[in-house]
Amino acid sequence: MIPVDGVAGEKVGVLGLGRSGLSAARALREGGAVPILWDDNPAARAAAEAEGFETRDLGAAGAMDDLTLLVTSPGIPHLYPEPNRVIAAAYAACVPVDNDIGLFFRALSSGAWDDLETPPKVVAVTGSNGKSTTSALIHHILSEAGREVQLAGNIGRGVLDIDPPGEAGVIVLELSSYQTELARALTPDIAVFTNLSPDHLDRHAGLGGYFAAKRRLFAEGGPDRAVIGVDEPEGRYLANQLATARSDDRVIRVSVGQKLSGPGWIVQARKGFLTEWRKGKQVGAIDLREIPGLPGAHNHQNACAAYAAARTLGLGPRQIEAALRTFKGLPHRSQIVAERDGVRFVNDSKATNVDAALKALLAFDRIRWVCGGLMKEGGLAALAPGLPHVAKAYVIGREAAQFALGLDGVEAEVCTDMGTAVARAAAEAEPGDVVLLAPAAASFDQYDNFEKRGEDFAAQVAAFLGS
């Protein structure tokens, strides 16, 4: 646990008692604060009280009067579409609002690690797609190199639940826009921006607000190094804002969609080959094409970002390449769950939007595509570049028929449930085919979350292959 310093004897409100909320409450108590907790869910309050925490309706009249700080969970709206009633009460009472990410950076700058010869470093990763895989890749590369490293934030452990870092320790954080938009302290040593595509627009009042939340990771703390995906205008803007000259190697530009040039530090992947360039000269290269845990251009982008971060931490290209070859991928993200008779079964249940699903479709040549679910705004037209890779679609979900109608030029079979879709796709697959779950839709019409959907896919594949 990372104790929160500078709060001894103070009463601090904690709103939302999920993983991050309870973690923050424990770290505050460890630092000598008196946490006062609230969650609208009675079961969550009861669990907190069982740990000895005081609970209080923090939205009630006068509930903020003795608080010096309110710590809120990232999923709770604080501005758009409208503030939660407790956060609105904090604003009215002039009580500062923070989250566990802000508390973490506050704790890390407290001086507790000043006696270490090599202080710990923080690598923070944000973006729309690929941030989980990029974070896990960085963690894997450092682990394989024998470095002390911990993975936390939006993946792995709660950020305040990790062990205090030791000599030359590295903490890799995956940070969502919900986490970066409110944290009062954001001071990573290395910050990574993967890419940007529309998401969470209600929460951020549009794409501009969403990008602004991501940009705070770079603008607020001024990282020593910034690894920036520049295949979208926002990334190019961000890299330009951070660099003071064309040759400024504090900014590492990453691309899989264009050929970069110039005197700066560049890591790019083209036709499956990752190359590193510094001062106009190539200094490293890796063939990514045969690495099974990193299929497709989107994973090559993740590999480039992770490679760049690892290079800034002193690792050599051959060390990084060896680690990339042993990376197995993350569950529900281009995860190979089975292979038989030349047919691969790939679980990409995390592809909950059209942009992520398109990247999955472009990663394979001939696909038996399991897709569908709770459709999102914008329709399916953006999938068009990937549809030539689809031999046939097997559509699930309550809106399966409507979803199938949106797949122009693709043979589509309405299957509705996962078992039927997997059985039909597997029975019709030929050697060289990939049976791919990449839903391009949310899971909530049939599952609690995308993880449950991916687990069902894997279970249905196992059942079919075992029959």
What string of pLDDT tens digits covers the 467 residues of the chain?
A: 999 988 999 999 999 999 899 999 999 999 999 999 999 999 999 999 999 999 999 999 999 999 999 999 999 999 999 999 999 999 999 999 999 999 999 998 887 788 888 899 999 999 998 999 999 999 999 999 999 999 999 887 899 999 999 999 999 999 999 999 999 999 999 999 999 988 788 899 999 999 999 999 999 888 999 999 999 999 999 999 999 999 999 999 999 989 999 999 999 999 999 999 999 999 999 999 989 889 889 999 999 999 999 999 999 999 999 999 999 888 899 899 999 999 999 999 999 989 889 999 999 999 999 999 998 878 899 999 999 999 999 999 999 999 999 999 999 999 999 999 999 999 999 999 999 999 999 999 999 999 999 999 999 999 999 96
Q: Report pLDDT digits (tens) over 381-394.
A: 999 999 999 999 99
| Closest to 23 in 3D by CA, of 35, 32, 11, 8 | 35
pLDDT at 25: 97
Listed in order, the ranges of the chain carrying CATH 3.40.50.720 are 11-98
Q: Identify the CATH number of the domain defined by range 11-98.
A: 3.40.50.720
Q: What backbone torsions phi and psi does residue 342 show, to the nearest 5 degrees?
A: 80, 5
- 3-state helix/strand/coil string of the chain: CCCCCCCCCCEEEEECCCHHHHHHHHHHHHCCCEEEEECCCHHHHHHHHHCCCEECCCCCCCCCCCCCEEEECCCCCCCCCCCCHHHHHHHHCCCCEECHHHHHHHHHCCCCCCCCCCCCEEEEEECCCCHHHHHHHHHHHHHHCCCCEEEEECCCECCCCCCCCCCCCEEEEECCHHHHCCCCCCCCCEEEECCCCCCCHHHHCCHHHHHHHHHHHHHCCCCCEEEEECCCHHHHHHHHHHCCCCCCCCEEEEECCCCCCCCCEEEEEECCEEEEEECCEEEEEEECCCCCCCCHHHHHHHHHHHHHHHHHCCCCHHHHHHHHHCCCCECCECEEEEEECCEEEEECCCCCCHHHHHHHHHCCCCEEEEECCECCCCCCHHHHHHHHHEEEEEEECCCHHHHHHCCCCCCEEEEECHHHHHHHHHHHCCCCCEEEECCCCECCCCCCCHHHHHHHHHHHHHHHHHC
Would you list which residues are annotated within the binding site? 127-133
pLDDT at 378: 81
Q: At what angle do helices 317-325 and 131-144 cross, to 10 degrees?
A: 110
pLDDT at 109: 87
Residues in the chain: 467
Q: Which fold has domain 104-325?
A: UDP-N-acetylmuramoyl-L-alanine:D-glutamate ligase (3.40.1190)
pLDDT at 257: 86
Listed in order, the ranges of the chain carrying CATH 3.40.1190.10 are 104-325
Predicted TM-score (pTM) of the model is 0.88
Distances (CA, A) of 78 to 73, 96, 197, 198, 392: 10, 12, 22, 20, 44
Listed in order, the ranges of the chain carrying CATH 3.90.190.20 are 335-466
Residue with tokens 């047919």: 343
pLDDT at 467: 65
Would you list which residues are annotated within the binding site for ATP? 127-133
pLDDT at 330: 86
Angle at 54 between CA 49 and CA 56, to 5 degrees: 110
| CA pair distance 142, 267, nearest whole angstrom | 18
pLDDT at 316: 96
Tokens, residue 351: 């592809």
State the architecture of 335-466 in CATH terms: Alpha-Beta Complex (3.90)
Q: Report pLDDT digits (tens) over 108-152.
A: 888 778 888 889 999 999 999 899 999 999 999 999 999 999 999
